[in-house]
C-alpha cells in the first residue's frame, strides 16, 4: 500500500510515468511498486490478485498470485470483425477467462501476468484499439446507446462520442513511451495538459450518450449525459438529430454505513445543439477539475461537487466556460434501460442481432451439465465470416454487458443465424425476461474490493428467484435484477427493481423499488441478509404484487405505489416530472 496520497502520486508522476518502466522490468515480484499501481490505471490496467488462493498463498508464505486486468477504450463498444479476431487472439494468448464485456461497453482481459503486460498492450494497439484513460481520474470509456433501430442517429451520435473521447484524452505521451516504445523527446514528463492539468481530475469521470426511447446506457448514473433529441414534429426534420438534453451529477458509488456517500440520479440542465457537445463537455470536466473535492477522495465525484456548490451555480459556470446559453430541456421519454434481444432492422434496412452474454463473459468452458460452451469459438467463426465478406458489419457491445452483431445485409443474416444456432449463442431464446435483463459485476475472484460474489453467483441466484416467482404465478415477468459484490455499484445496482449489494461473503443488502427506465433509485429494504432471507423477504412481496398490481404495472413501481417501499428521493432525487413526457 502506498503511503502517498493519490493527489501526490499524480503530481509527482512526470505525467503518469512514475517508475512504471522499472516496475515492469523487476522480475523479483509479480507486482508493481506501490505508486505505480495507482499510475497504471491511467494506462487502462489494474493490478489484482487471485482472491480464491489468497489465504492459501499467505499460509504458504508466498506473495499473492498477482496478475493484471486490462480494459480497452472503445467508445460505444464498437469494433470491426478484424478487431474482434485480434481481441480474441489476445484473450486466448495472454488472458484467463476469455473476453469480458463491461457495463461501459469496454472489453476487459483478466489474469495477464506482469511479464506479458507489454506484449498484450502492444497487441491491443496493433488491433488499432488502445487502453489509454480506460481507468484513473480522467474521462473513462464513453458509453453510447447501442440502438439497433435508428441507424442514422446512431452513426451521428457514435461519431460525436468518438470525437469527444479523443478530445478528452490526456496529452501525456507516457502511454506511447512505456508500452509502444515511442522515443522520449524534450519536454517528456512535462507535457501541457490543457484540460486536466498536472493532477488530472479529482476522481474518475463518466459520460454517456442516450438515444430515447432506450436508456440502455443508464444515462442518469453518469457524471455527464447527452440525451439525443430527435426531430419528430412532422415539420421536415423527422428522424434528424436536433441536439441533446444535458444531464450532470449522476453516480452510483457509496460506502456501507457512510451517509456522506450515496448514489445520485443526474439532473437535466438544459438543451444544446450538436456542435456544442465538445465545449460543454470540456466545461463540465474543467469545472469539476477546479471545483471538485481533492481533500476527501470519497467525496470527489462530480455528484458531490454539484451538491456542495449547488446545481444552479454549477450550470452557470459551465455555460460561462463553454460560452453558451442552455436552452430549456426538451421533453423526453425513456421506455426501458434493458436490451432488446434478437433481430432488429435499422431505418437504413440493415440488420442487427442482439445476443445475450451472461455477465458479459465470452469464453469456451465446460458448463455445469457437462456440455461444452463454445461462445468464444462461435463468435470467432462469425467474425471470420464477416471479416472475409468486408462491408460495414461491426460488433457493438451494450452497456448491459451484451452485444450486437450489427449492420448486416439479408444474406448475412441467414449465415449468422446458422452459426448462432450451431454455437448455441442464442441463449436469449430460452432465458426468462428476468435472466435476460440481470446484471452482475465481476466481483470475485479478481476484484480487490469485492465483499461478496456477484458474477459467479448470478446464475444460481436467478434459478432460485425464478422458483419463487413461479410459485407466485410470476414466471415470465420482466423484472430487473442487479447484483454487485460491494457498494461501489459497478452493475449500477441502485437502478435495479431488485438489487443485491454485497456486504460480506454470502450476505447482501436487499435494495428494492427502482423503475425499469433508469430514472428512479431503489431503497435499502433489508440489511446484511443471506440468500434464504432474501428469498423469504421477496416471496410475500411477489404474492402481493401478483394479487394487487394494475395492468402491466412493474414490480418496482408497484412497491412504491403500494407504499411497501419508501421512494428514494434525496440526495439522489427523482427527475422533475415535467421532463418525463
Ligand atoms: Fe467499477 C472499481 C469493475 C463499471 C463504480 N470497478 C472497480 C474495480 C476496478 C475495482 C478496483 O478499483 O480495484 C473493478 C474491477 C473488477 C474486475 O476484476 O474486473 C471494477 N466497473 C467494473 C466493471 C468491469 C464491472 C462489470 O462487471 O462490467 C465495469 C467497467 C466499466 C468500464 O468499462 O469502464 C465497471 N464501476 C462501473 C460502474 C457502472 C458505469 O460506469 O456505468 C460504476 C458506477 C457508476 C459510477 O461510477 O458512479 C462503477 N467501480 C466503481 C467504483 C465506485 C466509484 C465511486 O464513485 O465511489 C469503484 C471504486 C473506486 O473507484 O474507488 C469501482
Ligand atoms: Fe468490484 Fe464492487 Fe465493482 Fe463489483 S461493485 S466489480 S465488487 S468494485
Tens digit of each residue's pLDDT (9 = 90 or more) over 440-453? 999 999 999 999 99
**Mean of all residue pLDDT scores within the chain:** 95
- With a pLDDT cut of 70, the percent of the chain lying above it is 96
Catalytic residue among 15, 71, 301, 303: 71
User: Bridge partners of 472?
Assistant: none
What number is the average pLDDT over the span 219-247?
Answer: 87
CA 558 to chain centre: 28
User: Is it the case that residue 474 has pLDDT exceeding 70?
Assistant: yes
Closest listed residue to residue 105, CA positions, set 146, 48, 160: 146
Residue to mutate, 77, 103, 129, 222, ligand 1, most ligand atoms under 8 Å from C-beta? 103
Residue 573: its pLDDT value, please?
A: 56
What number is the average pLDDT over the span 341-362?
Answer: 95
Distance 149 CA to ligand 2 centre (A): 32
* Phi and psi at residue 364, to the nearest 5°: -100, 130
118 is catalytic: no
What number is the average pLDDT over the span 235-250?
Answer: 86
- In whole angstroms, how far apart are CA 361 and each of 369, 418, 422? 18, 22, 19
Which residue, by CA, sits nearest to atom 20 of ligand 1?
490
Contact 54, 17 (CB under 8 A): no
pLDDT in tens, 137-189: 999 999 999 987 888 899 999 999 999 999 999 999 999 999 999 999 988 99
What number is the average pLDDT over the span 470-484?
Answer: 97
Which residue, by CA, sits nearest to atom 30 of ligand 1?
102
Residue 378: its pLDDT value, please?
A: 98
User: Is it the case that residue 329 has pLDDT exceeding 60?
Assistant: yes
Catalytic residue among 140, 173, 361, 436: 140
Residue 472: its pLDDT value, please?
A: 98
* Count of C-beta atoms within a 10 Å radius of residue 330: 17
Residue 149: its pLDDT value, please?
A: 81
Distance 451 CA to ligand 1 centre (A): 14
Which residue, by CA, sits nearest to atom 15 of ligand 1?
447
Distance 452 CA to ligand 2 centre (A): 9
CA 207 to chain centre: 10
pLDDT in tens, 404-449: 999 999 999 999 999 999 999 998 888 999 999 999 999 999 999 9
206 is catalytic: yes
- To 5 degrees, how large is the angle CA 554–CA 558–CA 559? 120
pLDDT band at 239 (very low <50, low <70, confident <90, very high): confident
What number is the average pLDDT over the span 378-401?
Answer: 97
What number is the average pLDDT over the span 514-538?
Answer: 97
Rounded Cα distance between 154 and 148, Å, is 8
447 is catalytic: yes
Distance 433 CA to ligand 1 centre (A): 25
184 is catalytic: no
pLDDT in tens, 84-132: 999 999 999 999 999 999 999 999 999 999 999 999 999 999 999 999 9
Amino acid at each position: 500500500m502506498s503511503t502517498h496520497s493519490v493527489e501526490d502520486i499524480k503530481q509527482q508522476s512526470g505525467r503518469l510515468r512514475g517508475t512504471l518502466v522499472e516496475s515492469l522490468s523487476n522480475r523479483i515480484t509479480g507486482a508493481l511498486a506501490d505508486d505505480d499501481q495507482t499510475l497504471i490505471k491511467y494506462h487502462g490496467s489494474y493490478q489484482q490478485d487471485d482472491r480464491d488462493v489468497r489465504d492459501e498463498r499467505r499460509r504458504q508464505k508466498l506473495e499473492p498470485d498477482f496478475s493484471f486486468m486490462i480494459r480497452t477504450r472503445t467508445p460505444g463498444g464498437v469494433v470491426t470483425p478484424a478487431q474482434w479476431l485480434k481481441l480474441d487472439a489476445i484473450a486466448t494468448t495472454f488472458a484467463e477467462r476469455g473476453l469480458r464485456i463491461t457495463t461501459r461497453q469496454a472489453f476487459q482481459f483478466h489474469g495477464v501476468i506482469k511479464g506479458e503486460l507489454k506484449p498484450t498492450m502492444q497487441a491491443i494497439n496493433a488491433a488499432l484499439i488502445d487502453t489509454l484513460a480506460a481507468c484513473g481520474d480522467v474521462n473513462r470509456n464513453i458509453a453510447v446507446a447501442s440502438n439497433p433501430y435508428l441507424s442514422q442517429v446512431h452513426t451521428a451520435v457514435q461519431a460525436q462520442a468518438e470525437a469527444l473521447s479523443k478530445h478528452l484524452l490526456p496529452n501525456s505521451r507516457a502511454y506511447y513511451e512505456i508500452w509502444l516504445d515511442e522515443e522520449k523527446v524534450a519536454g517528456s514528463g512535462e507535457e501541457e495538459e490543457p484540460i486536466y492539468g498536472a493532477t488530472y481530475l479529482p476522481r474518475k469521470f463518466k459520460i454517456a450518450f442516450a438515444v430515447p426511447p432506450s436508456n440502455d446506457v443508464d444515462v442518469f448514473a453518469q457524471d455527464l449525459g447527452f440525451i439525443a433529441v430527435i426531430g419528430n414534429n412532422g415539420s421536415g426534420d423527422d428522424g434528424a438529430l436536433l441536439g441533446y438534453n444535458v444531464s450532470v451529477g449522476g453516480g452510483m458509488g457509496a460506502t456501507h454505513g457512510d451517509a456522506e456517500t450515496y448514489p445520485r440520479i443526474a439532473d437535466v440542465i438544459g438543451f444544446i445543439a450538436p456542435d456544442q457537445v465538445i465545449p460543454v463537455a470540456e466545461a463540465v470536466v474543467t469545472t469539476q477539475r477546479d471545483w471538485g473535492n481533492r481533500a476527501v477522495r470519497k467525496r470527489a465525484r462530480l455528484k458531490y461537487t454539484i451538491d456542495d456548490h449547488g446545481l444552479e451555480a454549477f450550470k452557470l459556470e459551465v455555460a460561462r466556460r463553454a460560452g453558451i446559453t442552455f436552452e430549456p430541456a426538451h421533453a423526453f421519454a425513456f421506455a426501458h434501460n434493458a436490451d432488446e434481444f434478437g433481430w432488429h432492422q435499422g431505418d437504413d434496412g440493415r440488420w442487427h442481432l442482439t445476443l445475450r452474454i451472461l455477465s458479459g463473459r465470452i469464453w469456451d468452458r465446460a458448463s455445469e451439465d457437462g456440455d461444452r460452451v463454445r461462445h468464444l469459438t462461435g463468435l470467432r467463426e462469425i467474425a471470420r465470416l464477416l471479416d472475409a465478406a468486408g462491408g460495414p458489419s461491426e460488433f457493438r457491445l451494450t452497456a448491459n454487458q451484451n452485444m450486437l452483431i450489427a449492420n448486416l445485409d439479408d444474406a448475412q443474416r441467414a449465415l449468422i443465424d446458422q452459426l448462432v444456432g450451431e454455437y448455441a449463442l442464442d441463449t436469449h431464446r430460452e432465458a426468462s425476461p428476468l435472466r435476460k435483463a440481470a446484471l452482475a459485476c465481476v466481483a470475485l475472484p479478481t476484484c480487490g474490493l469485492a465483499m461478496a460474489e456477484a458474477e459467479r453467483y448470478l446464475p444460481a441466484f436467478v434459478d432460485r428467484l425464478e422458483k419463487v416467482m413461479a410459485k407466485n404465478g410470476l414466471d415470465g415477468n420482466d423484472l430487473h435484477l442487479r447484483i454487485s459484490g460491494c457498494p461501489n455499484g459497478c452493475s449500477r445496482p441502485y437502478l435495479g427493481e431488485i438489487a443485491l449489494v454485497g456486504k460480506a461473503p454470502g450476505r447482501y443488502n436487499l435494495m428494492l423499488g427502482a423503475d425499469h427506465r433508469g430514472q428512479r433509485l431503489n431503497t435499502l429494504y433489508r440489511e446484511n441478509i443471506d440468500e434464504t432471507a432474501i428469498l423469504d423477504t421477496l416471496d410475500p412481496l411477489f404474492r402481493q404484487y401478483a394479487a394487487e398490481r394494475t395492468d402491466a404495472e412493474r414490480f418496482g413501481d408497484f412497491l412504491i405505489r403500494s407504499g411497501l417501499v419508501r421512494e428514494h428521493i434525496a440526495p439522489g432525487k427523482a427527475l422533475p416530472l415535467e421532463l418525463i413526457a
